[in-house]
Structure 1
C-alpha cells in the first residue's frame, strides 16, 4: 500500500466532512465516522475526544475464535475484543460497535476510515507497521496445524509440507502464508480461503492436505466444529523464523497518535492489575504462556529487533 497516498486521500475526505458538519455513517462492511483519523485538522476535535463524547468506538475484527468473533447470539466475543472493551471502558467509552470483515480487509478498512481501531489478535510485523500504528502487545502465541484424520501424509512441520509437496489452505491475509514460504513451501502448494471454516472445508474435501493458523485459532475452531474427519497435530514443530512467537495487538490509523497513546496507557494499567491475564484465561489462553511480554515493545517488534 502507498501510505502517503492513503493519508492524502484520507485528509481530503476529512476536510469534506468538516465542511458538511462531520456526521458519521455506517455501511454493510462496517464503517464508522468518516473523520476518523487526522486529529486537529480543520480545527476539528480529535478522534479520541469524539469517541469519548459519543460513547461509541467502532472496531473492525475478523471472525477468528478465540481472538475476535461474533457469537451465534450476535454478541462480540474473544480475547482481543474483551481486552479492547475493557480498555475503552477505562477511557469512558462503553459502547463497542463491532464490524466483521475479512482478515485481509482489516488494515485497508482502517486506513479508509471505516474503523477507529482493528483488534483481532493481529500479529505485529514490520510490513504491517508500514501501514498502521500498533498498540503495545496484548498477547503472544505460536502456530498450529490441522490435517485429515490419521495424518495420512505424516505432516508435523512446515518443512514436512515443503518436502512432501503437500498443499496447504490458509486464510487470506494471514501471516502464515509468509511463514510457510519462508520454510520452503512453494507458491503453487498454497491455497487461500476467506476464513477458517473455508480452510477446514478444503482439507476435509481433499482439495488441500493441511491448514495452518495460530495455535489457539485452529485448535478451538476444530473443537467448536466437532469435525471428526480432521485432527489437530499435537506434536507440531514450531518454525524457527522471525515472527514466531507472534505478538498480537490492536492497530490504529497512523494519524491517531492521541487515541493510540491513551489506549496504551489504560492497557498497561489492566496488564499490571491482572485484568488482561484474566481475560486471556477466560477465552482459553494460558494466562502466563500467552500473556503480553514484559520486556517486548511494539517499536522493537516493528524494527525487527525482537523477532
Structure 2
C-alpha cells in the first residue's frame, strides 16, 4: 500500500512539473496571437483613450490597434479603469497592456516597462468663466494660497505643481476629469489642470458655460514638461514590448503615427516625438 501511494505521488509530481514546464515556456505574445485579442487598460480620457457609442477610440488607441494588428492580433478589448488604478490593474493581470497616453516618468518606470514614446504633450488650465483670479501659470497658483486646484488622481500634474511651488494643502485629488470640472463649477476648487488636449476637449464636450480654457497658459519650464506618452507593459513581458516597439518604429518612420493621431486634434509639428527621445532617456531623467 505504501509503495503504491509513493508511486502515485511520484506520478502526480511529474504531471505537475510537466504542466509548470508548459506554462513557463509559454509566450505572452504567442498566446495573444493565438487568441487574437489583447486586453488594454484605459482611463476614458479624451483624446488619448475613451469609449464612445460602445467603441474604444482615441489617439493612443488608434496607435495600439494598428500595432497589434501588424502583430497579428486583430481585436483590442478595452478595460475601463480610473487613471490611478491603471498600473495596479496591470500588475493584477486585469489587462495585458495600458493604452492611455500615460506619461513616462522615472517613478512609473520602476513599476512598469514602457514602450517607446508615441505622443508628446503639454499642460493646461480650466478656470471659472472670465478667469477672475487671472491664473495663467502654476506659479500664479502657488502665489495665492487661497487658490484650490482639483487634479485627477494618479496624474503627473500634482508633481509638476509642487515643483512650481504649489502647496499640497492647495491640491484636491479627484477621481476623473468630470469630477475636477464639478469641483470648479461648484466653487470647491478655483481651477483644475491636466494635459492640454485632454481638458480642452473634455470641456468642449461637457459644454459647461461657467468654465473656460486658459489659452494664454504658460507651460512650466520644469523636468517632465513636455510629457511623452507611451503604452505600458509588465516588466516581465519583454518579448511583447519589443515586438510592439519594432512595429511602432516602422510606423514612426513612414509617418503613420502622425496620420493616426491627427483625427483626434493632434498635429505632427506639436505632438509627434523626435527620434532622439527614447524611453530609456526619459526613465533615466535625461529627457524628463
- What TM-score does the superposition give when structure 1 sets the normalisation length? 0.86
Is residue 244 of structure 2 the alignment partner of residue 244 of structure 1?
no
Q: Shift of residue 43 of structure 1?
A: 3.4
Return the alpha-carbon distance in structure 2 between the equivalents of residues 125 and 41 of structure 1.
36
Q: What's the CA shift for 1:41?
A: 7.7
RMSD of aligned residue pairs (Cα, Å): 1.6
CA distance in 1, matches of 2:117, 2:171: 29
Distance of aligned partners of 1:266 and 1:110 in 2 relative to their CA distance in 1, 3 Å threshold: same
CA offsets per residue over residues 48-101 of structure 1, 9 Å max, x none? Answer: 000001000000010100000111x11001000110000000000000000000
1:29 equivalent in structure 2: none
Deviation at 1:268, TM superposition (A): 0.8
Task: State how far apart, in whole Å, the 2-side matches of 1:125 and 1:231 are.
Answer: 29
1:66 to 47, 62, 65: 47
Question: Greater Rg, structure 1 or structure 2?
Answer: 2
**Which of 36, 40, 60 is residue 80 of structure 1 equivalent to?**
60
Task: Return the structure number with greater relative CO, CA threshold 8 A, min gap 6.
Answer: 2
Which segments of structure 1 move beyond 6 Å, counting only runs of 4 or more?
none
The one of 139, 142, 157 aligned to 2:119 = 139
Give the CA deviation at 1:42.
Answer: 4.2
Q: What does the per-residue CA deviation read over 1:252-273, in whole Å, with 9 as the maximum and x for residues that have no partner?
A: 0000000000000001111111
2:110 to 130, 144, 150: 130
Q: Which residue of 2 aligns with 1:53?
A: 34
Q: Is the 8 A contact 1:62 1:68 kept in 2?
A: yes
Instruction: Provide the rounded CA distance (Å) in 2 between the counterparts of 1:43 and 1:221.
Output: 44
SS of the equivalent of 1:237 reads coil
For the pair 1:106 / 2:86, whether they are aligned, the reply is: yes
Residue correspondence of structure 1 range 220-259 to structure 2 within 5 A: 220-259=201-240
1:302 to partner: Cα distance: 0.1
- One of 140, 148, 151 as aligned partner of 1:170: 151
Aligned 8 A contact 1:277 1:288 in 2 = no
C-alpha distance in 1 between matches for 2:203 and 2:30: 41
CA distance in 2, matches of 1:59, 1:112: 13
Q: How does 1:1-307 map to 2 (within 5 A)?
A: 42-71=23-52, 73-165=53-145, 166-307=147-288
Secondary structure in 2 aligned to 1:289? helix
Structure 1: runs of 5+ lacking an equivalent: 1-17, 23-39
Q: Is the 8 A contact 1:144 1:213 kept in 2?
A: yes
**Gap regions ≥5 residues in structure 2:** 1-15
CA distance, structure 1, for counterparts of residue 94 and residue 151 of structure 2: 25
TM-score under structure 2 normalisation? 0.92
- Between Structure 1 and Structure 2, how many residues are aligned? 272
Alpha-carbon separation, structure 2, partners of 1:306 and 1:163: 28
Q: How far has the Cα of 1:226 moved from its partner?
A: 1.1
